[in-house]
Amino acid sequence: MAIVTSSKRSRYFAESSRYLPGGVNSPVRAFQGVGGDPVVVHRAEGAWLYDQDENGYMDLINSWGPMILGHAHPDVVEAVRTQAGKSFSYGTPTELELELAKLVVDGIPWIERIRMVNSGTEACMTAIRLARAHTGRPYFIKCRGCYHGHADPFLVEAGSGALTLGHPSSPGIPEETTRYTLVADYNDLQSMERWFEEFPESIAGVILEPVSGNMGCVPPHSSYLQAVQELCRTHGALFILDEVMTGFRLSWQGAANIYHLDPDLVCYGKIIGGGLPVGACAGKAHIMDLLAPAGPVYQAGTLSGNPLAMTAGLTTLRLLQLQPEIYDHLEQVGRTLETELLKRFAEKGQDVQVNRVGSMISLFFTDRPVGDLSSALTSDRQSFSRFFHHLLAAGIHLPPSAFESWFISRAIDESHIDQFLEAVRRF
């Protein structure tokens, strides 16, 4: 398939590759999963990305999830602008970090303490350290295809960009740093039970995405998450939810609310920062209070609780909390896209799977239901690449990988849906 890209994009990417490894600052942006040169975004507003030539692209990436309200929401922009005039960073406590902490702790029953960090990776690192300190055990379990950031212990059969680039684990990681990482299959309780049978008193916790977004959108099977939680309780291990993607997106209280869970620790990112770099590790007080300076578990960060990031996150979360109809709108848009995609490909006689939970959705070119990494990998990448570039030419920007969830924003309305569906009909 011939990929047509603008000469300006090609020139930019060639020059960028002289200065940045692979031309990008995060792997999937390089379009290696779909071919061609990436769109170079100049600005964004509402539902639209604009490139160097002011060509508009309907955005179904939304910064990989954080821009749930759409780009440059006026309330968030004004709040950040006001705070910027008071300086960007203090390195001291602020009222803003207290306000955001109170909003989350008072609004989510299973959260009693929260520690702000700068990324989802940091949040997950902190959760594992806390689990090991609390239990005195070395091992933890993760699932194939679930991605919890690029810290050494997590890059074992990871999802997201690692799948797109064909490197499910990474060089540069000594075996010693992953020897205590146990890998189970997502949606397969027995594969997790086997580890508890082998190491009955040595597993500190289980960390998993309640809805996987890093092998495409893969929902949990019925009662799977509840069964994992009970397994952890039975064996004295911590039940850790990585809600970096799902937190404040699937509902204000996240996936734990939807699936009626009571996690020991929760990792947040993306939406909690309103588009600025923020992560958080949160959970039960008796575990969280192990963190320094309250306890002996060390974690620190110069920019943790950064006032600009706290402002963007606080403003975004307040808007979501005060306007619950936003979630109704996201569900409606997601349901329409799911229904129409299935209808269009059925008319073509082409087997596809559409996985969706709320405003997270993925299209897999396979005749097999997708419920784990093995089934996700049956998806035809060439077909996805053709679909991706067809939509890109129609002014619609999907995540440039068959193994990434799409993210819908509140800014998507009926006119955008019509444009999307017309492009799909022409495919």
* Catalytic annotation, pick one of 147, 224, 259, 268: 147
Both 48 and 137 in one domain: the answer is no
Both 204 and 344 in one domain: the answer is no
Tell me whether residue 87 is in a domain. yes
Both 203 and 304 in one domain: the answer is yes
CATH number at residue 178: 3.40.640.10
pLDDT for 158 equals 60
Tell me whether residue 358 is in a domain. yes
pLDDT for 5 equals 56
Both 259 and 130 in one domain: the answer is yes
Both 355 and 395 in one domain: the answer is yes
The range of the structural domain enclosing residue 19 comes to: 7-72+324-425
Tell me whether residue 1 is in a domain. no
Both 46 and 132 in one domain: the answer is no
pLDDT for 164 equals 42
CATH number at residue 43: 3.90.1150.10
What is the helix (H) or strand (E) element at residue 97, kind and residue range? helix 95-107
Distance, in Å, from the CA atom of 192 to the CA atom of 195, rounded to the nearest integer, reads: 5
Instruction: Mark out the alpha helices in 210-294 (DSSP H runs).
Output: 224-235, 254-258, 285-288
Answer yes or no: 147 catalytic: yes
Average pLDDT, stretch 224-234?
Answer: 98
Average pLDDT, stretch 198-208?
Answer: 96
* Catalytic annotation, pick one of 59, 139, 264, 270: 270
* Catalytic annotation, pick one of 242, 268, 284, 327: 242
Distance, in Å, from the CA atom of 257 to the CA atom of 426, rounded to the nearest integer, reads: 39
Three-state DSSP string of 306-327: CHHHHHHHHHHHHHHHHCCHHH
Both 277 and 388 in one domain: the answer is no
Residues β-bridged to residue 44: 49
| pLDDT confidence band for 180 (50 / 70 / 90) | very high
Domain boundary among 322, 356, 374: 322
Interacting residues of 4 by C-beta distance below 8 A, sequence separation 6+:
36, 393
Contact 377, 159 (CB under 8 A): no
Dihedral of CA atoms 48, 51, 53, 54 in degrees, nearest 10, equals 20
Answer yes or no: 327 catalytic: no
Distance, in Å, from the CA atom of 57 to the CA atom of 379, rounded to the nearest integer, reads: 25
Average pLDDT, stretch 43-48?
Answer: 98
Distance, in Å, from the CA atom of 31 to the CA atom of 384, rounded to the nearest integer, reads: 12
pTM for this predicted structure: 0.94
Both 340 and 293 in one domain: the answer is no
Distance, in Å, from the CA atom of 120 to the CA atom of 244, rounded to the nearest integer, reads: 6
pLDDT in tens, 252-304: 999 999 999 999 999 999 999 999 999 999 999 999 999 999 999 999 999 99
pLDDT for 13 equals 87
Both 397 and 257 in one domain: the answer is no
